[in-house]
A and B are shown apart, each in its own frame.
Chain A
Amino acid sequence: MEFLGISLAVLVMFVGFGLLIGILFGFFGMGGSFLVTPALLVMGYPSRVAVGSGLAFVFGTSVIATLKHRDLGQVDYKLGVLMIAGTTAGIEVGKEMVLYLEELGMAGSIISVTYVVLLGGIGLFVTYEALKGNDGGGIDHDAEDADAEDIPDIAKTIQSYRVPPMISLRGGVSVSLWMILGVAFVTGLLSGFLGVGGGFIRMPALFYLIGVPVPIAVGTDLFEIVFSGGIGSFLYAMDGGVDLSIVLPLLAGSALGARVGSAATSIVDEGEIKVYFGLMLLGGSVAVAVRELGNVYDIAVLNTVSLVLILGSALLVSGAVVYSSVSALREEAPTDPPTAD
């Protein structure tokens, strides 16, 4: 039996994979193309289709997750528009850097090393901050308004530069326009240089550098991904790179997952989740390193090992989000026994 030109088994697999990614996307505001594109490549899709369909899927999922976060009052549109402006400029400069390195014949190796170091570095940093506990300025999903002790030290420093015009953001934060554009430019630069969506860079940057509460960082990051994913997938679609038989079932699963992940941000005590999140990034960096080694030494099996590492990390973290949500719900359950009339 076939639907959309693919077998029922593949269809079910895509829906399940979408569900897993949707949970991560809704909870962390990242994890889309980082997971989908390598999986499609290993399944044998051409890179143009893998990247284009991955982007189209990220676009659809970010629309759903942004709508959900908007319902929860967790999207700062002003910050989102400023981030889009700064990020776009950064992506252009990053792309030029890649072209220059390609002329020198050094692009592949430098980009791979930077990707591994950055992913691993952010993973280590987040894990370290999480293990330090609440006193260390770790991520707090419950913070609607940013208390002084919840704001990371780097963000406090950036907020202390009162260069006008100052911009008031959701969560009671006030930051110089130039600082926001600077952070956006740097994250865009890295995104354009590495050729990735950049959620794993931008979401921590919004929290650790600008100091907005995590739910707003996630919601605003997703809002920005709607535009970057939409433009990217449109460009690939013009070249025949978007395959609806991949995108539609993935989106059916991720729409449900994104609701679960977004809702979980309001109920989960995420102390342990932060550690898993950091470990997922570390797993991702090891996976990319393994894949690059496979490419350099022409060992095909390392590509599969890389995919298993990425999927295993994602499964572990999304499972932890669901498990912690159910545990939190059970702790909130009324303890009074039902009365028998």
Chain B
Amino acid sequence: MVAGGGATGGLPAMVDAATLIGVVLLEAIVLYVGYGAAEQVLGDRLIERLQNA
């Protein structure tokens, strides 16, 4: 398990928590951009296939 922020309080816990949330935010943005690029490349072809299936 990759559990986050085990500190009991204070600045280290806040930094750990901020890092964890930052990782989640970074993944969200990377996925948004990545899936967006995939949509640009494959979107029209996928829609065409769905329409003609």
Contact = CB atoms under 8 A, between A and B. Distances in A.
A210 interface: no
A148 interface: no
A68 B31 CA distance: 12
Give the bracket for the number of chain A residues in contact with chain B: 35 or more
Contacts of A279: none
Tell me what chain B mostly uses at the interface: helix, strand, loop, or mixed: helix
Contacts of B31: 64, 251-252, 255-256
Interface residues of B, number: 31
B44 to A, nearest CB: 12
Interface string A232-262: 0111011111111101100110011001000
A326 B47 CA distance: 9
Given A49-B3, A60-B28, A244 B51 contact: no
Interface string A298-341: 00000000000000000000000000001001101100000000
B50 A329 contact: yes
Tell me what chain A mostly uses at the interface: helix, strand, loop, or mixed: helix
Nearest to A233: B21
A182 interface: no
B14 to A, nearest CB: 6
Interface of A: 4-6, 49, 56-57, 59-61, 63-64, 67-68, 230, 233-235, 237-245, 247-248, 251-252, 255-256, 259, 326, 329-330, 332-333
Ranked nearest first, the 6 interchain pairs of A and B with the lowest CB-CB distance are A237-B17, A255-B31, A333-B51, A60-B28, A63-B28, A244-B2
